[in-house]
Structure 1
Amino acid sequence: MMIDETHRPLRDPAVNAVIDRLAAAQQYPPDDPRARLERDPHDYSEYGYSIAPQQGDLIYLLCRGIRATRVVEFATSVGMSTLYFAAAVRDNGGGTVIGSEIVPAKVATARRNLAEAGLADYADIREGDARATLRDLGGPVDFALIDGWLGVEPSLAREVIEIIAPQLRIGGYVMNDNAEPDFLAYVRDSANGFLSVTLPLHGGTELCVKVA
């Protein structure tokens, strides 16, 4: 089945223009740090590791469907996912995207991209280690994206989901892009209160819902 790339759920031309620019500029270095080796994310500050537009469309649709007003993401990078989240909470009547990004240059870039899209008022990007910046989200959140820096176990994804899960409301979603084995073990353990499924997006996207 062919996907109609012209049919987009997010219909704001200003937001889509920034998304299209970021998608066109996406590139990866020869020594791809996504290979689950220990590397310093600051060494890759010029590369904007981001979700794919198809994942963004799903984020936007799900957030609109559950009337999300408070969402969280790890990591923000240059703000691609933030744009989808911020547009959704705006279109739901208002809200906040809480983002975390450890590389200062990417924080600055993400803020510029949000401002260009007219969404700066809907994002709170916290600079620093997500294990500290996301420890207190100020109340229950509706949706979480975990798409951060890869490394050896315990992965940051596993550490961050353990921090975020108690702050996610029942019926809230978690999306994970990198399929870290210890993250998958956590969300697939029924004792932790999630149901999850692997979607055929961007090489495999885990979508989870908190049910207990």
Structure 2
Amino acid sequence: MSDVLNGPLRDTNVHAVIERVRAEGRPPGWGPRPGGAGGPGGPGGRGGRGPRAGGGGFPPRDPFEFTDVAFPIAPEQGDLLYLLCRATGATRVAECATSLGISTLYLAAAMRDNGGGLVIGSEIVPEKAAKARKNLADAGLDHLVDIRVGDALETFADLGGPVDLLLVDGWPTANPPSLSRSITGLVAPQLRGGAIVVNDNAEEDYLEYVRDPANGFVGMSLPLKGSTEVSVRVGA
């Protein structure tokens, strides 16, 4: 659990919803891991949004098989997202995939605490999108979120204005390009200068893309839940 008293997000109601969703969204057989992610005994291994392709992870599977599984970010990743949004004054954020809404709760809380804004989420499984909306309503944050149901390559085609932060943590693909690489390429022209992109899954082709100076990003890997790549948009 995050340190509510000393962490950046100190809303006890939001934290209570996050912890409830973590508990309810953990499949049978998954044990706790440091940072609150799912254990290696279940699909997904490192607790990402879906089973991880390659690198010793689990092969890609149908996301509709996991309608009750949260695949959450770790608490320290949530704190990072909240802090980045607060530090940059973000008012328009996009995330893929929403899942049951744990990362969305951190992002929406930051929008509220920034004085207003919008989190645009994409979730391909309608049942998960509905559950995420309810979780956000329970936290009193649903008015700050637009969850779009469908393929993010379609739902993110037009995000309605310059994006301040993008979280890419989507379902793995069997073959390149990865969803993270495709989504980031799609959204890149919609990012404002100085926008931040956070990636949870460290797909090889994604890292090649954001680490190539020609693509207009600078960044680094942080040792959060294995590896979390944080990049800043510095040019076209």
Report if aligned partners of 2:120, 2:147 keep a CA contact under 8 Å in 1. yes
Query: After the TM superposition, which parts of structure 1 deviate over 6 Å for at least 4 consecutive aligned residues?
Result: none
Report if aligned partners of 1:75, 1:101 keep a CA contact under 8 Å in 2. yes
Q: Which residue of 2 aligns with 1:44?
A: 66
Report if aligned partners of 2:95, 2:122 keep a CA contact under 8 Å in 1. yes
Separation (CA, whole Å) in 1 of partners of 2:139 and 2:4: 20
Deviations 1:77-114 (A, max 9, x none): 00001001101011111010000000011001100000
Q: Which amino acid aligns with 1:118?
A: G
Matched, 1:65 2:87: yes
From 164, 169, 181, give the equivalent of 1:147: 169
From 140, 143, 148, give the equivalent of 1:118: 140
Matched, 1:192 2:209: no
Q: Which residue of 2 aligns with 1:165?
A: 188
Report if aligned partners of 1:74, 1:130 keep a CA contact under 8 Å in 2. yes
CA gap 1:35/1:67 in 2 versus in 1, 3 angstroms: closer
Q: Which residue of 2 aligns with 1:34?
A: 51
CA gap 1:49/1:31 in 2 versus in 1, 3 angstroms: closer
Separation (CA, whole Å) in 1 of partners of 2:4 and 2:15: 12
Q: CA RMSD in A?
A: 1.5
Report if aligned partners of 1:194, 1:211 keep a CA contact under 8 Å in 2. yes
Query: Larger relative contact order (C-alpha < 8 A, sep ≥ 6)?
Result: 1
Q: Which residue of 2 aligns with 1:19?
A: 18
Q: Which moved more, 1:30-39 or 1:150-159?
A: 30-39
Q: Which residue of 1 aligns with 2:153?
A: 131
Q: Give the drift of 1:35.
A: 3.3
Separation (CA, whole Å) in 2 of partners of 1:31 and 1:204: 18
TM-score, structure 2 length as denominator?
0.85
* Structure 2 residues without counterparts, runs of 5 or longer: 31-41, 45-49, 54-58
Give the number of aligned pairs. Answer: 210
From 75, 81, 84, give the equivalent of 1:53: 75
Report if aligned partners of 2:92, 2:165 keep a CA contact under 8 Å in 1. yes
- Percent identity of equivalent pairs: 56
Report if aligned partners of 1:158, 1:186 keep a CA contact under 8 Å in 2. yes
Matched residue SS, 2:161:
coil
Q: Which moved more, 1:30-39 or 1:189-198?
A: 30-39
Q: Which moved more, 1:22-31 or 1:112-121?
A: 22-31
* Structure 1 residues without counterparts, runs of 5 or longer: none
